[in-house]
Structure 1
Amino acid sequence: MQCSYYDAAVCRSCALMGQAYDLQVQGKERHVRRLLPGGVEWLPAVAGPESGFRNKAKMVVGGTSARPTLGILDGAGRGVDLQACGLYPPALSRIFPVLEAFITTARLTPYSVPDRSGELKNVLVTLSPDGELMVRFVLRSQESVARIRKHLPDLGDVAVVSANILAEHKAVVEGPLEIPLTSAQTLRMRVNGIDLHLRPQSFFQTNTEVASAMYRQAAEWVDEADPGSLWDLYCGVGGFALHCASPGRDVTGIEVSAEAIASARTSRDELGLERVRFTAADATAFALGAARPPDLVIVNPPRRGIGPELAGWLESSGVRHVVYSSCNAESLARDLAAMPSLRPTRARLLDMFPQTAHYEVITLLERGHDRLSRPLPVAG
């Protein structure tokens, strides 16, 4: 992939830009293989398009109301416009000039980091597989919400619009308060025939195509193990839990975000899954407080991993199988070291983030004598 922003040193966010894509994937696989123990069966890596793959854009707003920029800030805190970034598909990038004009029409003053003044900090856009859009305006206060609401028709056919309030001067993307501005408050994300419902503050994977493959892989391993009960910890909007639901199987999804749990329950009810339940709770606290463990646990933690408490609980719980989806192989390796009885037997790299050194890896862990039928290969 060629990028004029990278070539001009305007943006260097994509550290692997200019490297052949197949070499990028090979390098990531070498990295994760060094971190995981030997004796793992590695399935072929999953790689989607090397450009136009992002389903979301987190655009920092700079410049002025009359001439706004959508992109990033430079070292001095000035706006750098990245509307032509090749990571965004046309169905997503087409909204950028509309947003630029909207900022001017609605008289939204971009926030100046050096001066700590202004209102509009970020614009967050998400694209559904069906081509619908969610737009979120991250604001310093509610002062401009009425103007945004007044000019909503100028945005055209956008399914979900909200205002997020981030009053503090800090390096975060969004704040705690979300103000819905459209009657629709969820974006339908259709993945492998399952409708996941994304609310403004809910998390969803950046690469829909690769995320779909990740859910299919987890479901394949789960069906092969055929557990009677399953927990999906850090379940988000329920992607793993809903893909792994099956008649006769009790599935419990746990996620600290109440918004994400509300979305997961909507999907469950639409699918008529009576033996699937979702609860808003801390994953570690839920596990440590449970009366008994399930047959299988799926974990999909943030970059920090599951941590020593949950890893220790899994090690001593007697759980036979764990499916661990990780976006940080270093924290995955630390967690595996704390669970020596649960050995990784199969793994697969999922290149969710082409042009960068980041990736996802999904791993099947099995407790000693409870290995699935497929024999382990000889390490080497």
Structure 2
Amino acid sequence: MIPYGRQEVTQADIDAVVQVLHSDFLTQGPIGPRFEDTVAQHVGARHAVAMNSATSALHIACLALGLGPGDWLWTSPITFVASANCGLYCGAQVDFVDIDPQTYNMSVERLEEKLAEAQKSGTLPKLIIPVHLCGQPCDMAGIHALSQRYGFRIIEDASHAIGGKYKGEPIGNGQYSDITVFSFHPVKIITTGEGGLATTNNAQLAERMTLLRSHGITRDPTRMTHVPHGGWYYQQIDLGFNYRMTEIQAALGLSQMARLDEYVARRHALARDYKIKLAALPVTTPWQHPDGYSGLHLYVIRLQLERTNRSHREVFDTLRENGIGVNVHYIPVHTQPYYERLGFKLGDFPESERYYAEAISLPMYSGLTGDQQDVVVSTLERALAI
């Protein structure tokens, strides 16, 4: 099986993890802060807070920005459910903004229209989470300009996008948002096994996220309500969570960061080859906005179903049956049963639904060989029955 994505673990990665296993700290040691500093320096942010998943990072980022009951969070329907669920975790209400038909990211035009209507009804969002789908950055300048007009805060869901750039600058530098969240799940561009990280330029937000990821507990006497009882003393000053990243995870991530740029460059080479090899097939290959340099976590094609006698399901099943581990990213969140019970329905976000009816993620990872890519393309050609 050629999977749609997979991690690469080198001997250097293994050695880094083994070194931690022989050390005094398996968690809350010196490697976690080193990993945070390395990511922050790479993306040009002042602060980084590592956690056990990007979902945890999204949750704590929302809390740090004060999201709560009575507030609204808006995101894209074409994302993993965590981008929306994080608002529900905070007791807020969630809504969606339809996607741009070329980038598949949140449409700034649809966002502007929806904001104008929400202003009339008094339901403006407190927080918007644009999702850099597949690693391609959203139109962050446009979204940021709207935030200045309408007063919302911004979390970039860059789970797919570490190593990417927007307008020549690294994604995660905080120029157009309050917080950026990255994912290090095994199929992402680099991995910590499981893990996530939030970057910000705001020291208070970083301090709050650091507190919340570890039970809301502090050992800082300046933050306590009275004089410490002794060197053992700590206080819980907020309701936090056990969202810490282990030293083992951080060591793996720190080792992989050394190859991040190489991994992204390889993905771009594969994307260029895909574009050439797929040119004669009835598919639409990903369009890349000139303002962005995608992390290319995913390579999503859209089937031109009017040019073939096969259905979306038939093409998908044929590829899987022939050893190509394709997937679909994503089922529109508003069509999930949980969100249907909140009042969403088919037809609410038509561009997202059209995308879902045609999208298939082809294999894309740094270790994919040219020969494997040829097998993917030839199998796809047979699956399309042209």
TM tier, shorter chain?
A: 0.3 to 0.5
Please, what TM-score do these two structures have when normalized by structure 2?
A: 0.34
Instruction: Give the strand-richer structure, 1 or 2.
Output: 1
Please, what TM-score do these two structures have when normalized by structure 1?
A: 0.35
Where relative contact order (Cα < 8 A, 6+ residues apart) is larger, the structure is: 2
Instruction: Give the helix-richer structure, 1 or 2.
Output: 2
